[in-house]
Amino acid sequence: MLIVQKYGGTSMGSTERIQNVAKRIEDSIHAIKNSDNKLKTKEKNKLVVVVSAMSGVTDEILNYGKYFTPTPNERDLDMALSSGEQISAALLSIALNARGLKSISLNGRQAGIKTDSNHTKARIQHIDTNNIFRLLDEGYIVVVTGFQGLSSEGEITTLGRGGSDLSAVALAGALKSDLCEIYSDVDGIYTTDPRIESKAKKIDKISYDEMLELSSMGAKVLLTRSVELAKKLNVPIYAKSSFSDDIGTLITKEDEIMEKPIVSGIALDKNQARVSLSGIKDKPGIAAELFGKLSDANINVDMIVQTIGRDSKTNLDFTVPQNELEKAKITLEEFNSNADFIDYDNEVAIVSIVGVGMKSHSGVATKAFQAMAKDNINIRMISTSEIKISMLIDLKYAELSVRVLHAAYELDK
């Protein structure tokens, strides 16, 4: 059996924790857990282990670079940033060898990870698996640096935030592994953030599409790019904790989930701001012009609501990430002549209900609206997809809305 495991920065955060990871890897060579969490002995498993930099190291290196200039050269920044994972991979391999296990560490180039040339946010284009398979056949545990690869120009590149998860999923797909396990400091995916709602329950299985919606709305266990790639490559993922033996949450195809819940989880995104344009000229092409400018500035627009005004004018509201609001203001300065006035509000949040069961059940939205009204939470904007209902609300009601909706759909049961 071929297993790909990924350990995050918290799991690799100290020599003691690296030792704990080495012990877990040693156990994984000879045994895996079945669906009821009982150990079952297998023939010797082959392991590829992907690691992040030790917690805090990537930010520390980034801050070092910004000490000299707010905009460090991205090529040189990638050279520096990639060192964090190389240290982690080498230390883990040393720990494994010290336990009598045959291990070798590889950087992105040695692991055959080919990317495009976009420094600090590269995309994986291809993985040459020959070297890894050769080492596995020679009996090595292969420890690979996450978050990085090599461009066609021979330059070191990094994949952006969450890049180690992306490396693990890509390797699992390329190697056609039997199992991909993502280890972090949380033991799976929950019905909502347990820090907000103490009654949140861990989800045993969740579909790629549900996980994509939860990730896009702020659930941080797995980032959207990793889930998108897992879905594309059909790689089942177990999200687990490196600090417990819990089986975690399986992220898989929808048809692998027999009992599809109507609602799987409640997501909350506080990193949102609302932009309101009043009195826009109501003419063809005005929306294309507006959102074209925002797209050119690389500003991500989420919810959009347009209402018909009077005298050939219309009103348009939309949301952007809060950390992109200042950039949006600068971009929209050119648009002032097309609107009576533009208003900005960063005291908002988006709460979302996610579940594949929505496809075949009516009344899901009604229940949400009734629950919110009962607690006097005003909904300012609404957007829907096949498996998600999102509502823009005032920030002061954000956590209350999560608890209200979690109770309304009885997700604690």
Residue-wise pLDDT for 319-365, tens only, equals: 999 989 999 999 998 787 778 889 999 999 999 999 988 887 888 99
Tell me whether strands 31-33 and 113-115 are parallel, antiparallel or unpaired: unpaired
Q: Are 48 and 113 in contact (CB under 8 A)?
A: no
> How many angstroms from the chain centroid is the CA of residue 138?
34
As a whole number of angstroms, the distance between CA 6 and CA 165 comes to: 7
Q: Which two tokens stand for residue 30?
A: 């000879």
Amino acid, res. 271: N
Six-digit token string for 230: 């897992």
CA–CA dist 122, 113 (Å, integer): 11
Asked if 89 and 105 touch (Cβ cutoff 8 Å), the reply is yes
Structure tokens at 272: 């949102």
Which residues, in sequence order, are CB contacts of 172 under 8 Å at separation 6+?
Answer: 4, 180, 233, 235
Q: Name the pTM for this structure.
A: 0.83
Tens of pLDDT, residues 55-85:
999 999 999 999 999 889 999 999 999 999 9
pLDDT recorded at residue 37: 46
Q: Are 286 and 277 in contact (CB under 8 A)?
A: no
Query: Average pLDDT, whole number, for the chain?
Result: 91
Residue 175 and residue 132 in contact, taking contact as beta carbons nearer than 8 Å: yes
Mean pLDDT to the nearest integer, 361-379: 93
19 to 3, 106, 123: CA distances (angstroms):
19, 19, 32
Cα-flanking dihedrals φ and ψ of residue 174, to 5°? Answer: -65, -35
Q: Which of 288, 319, 294, 295 is nearest to 305 (CA)?
A: 319
Instruction: Report the alpha-carbon distance of residue 356 to residue 258 in Å, rounded.
Output: 12
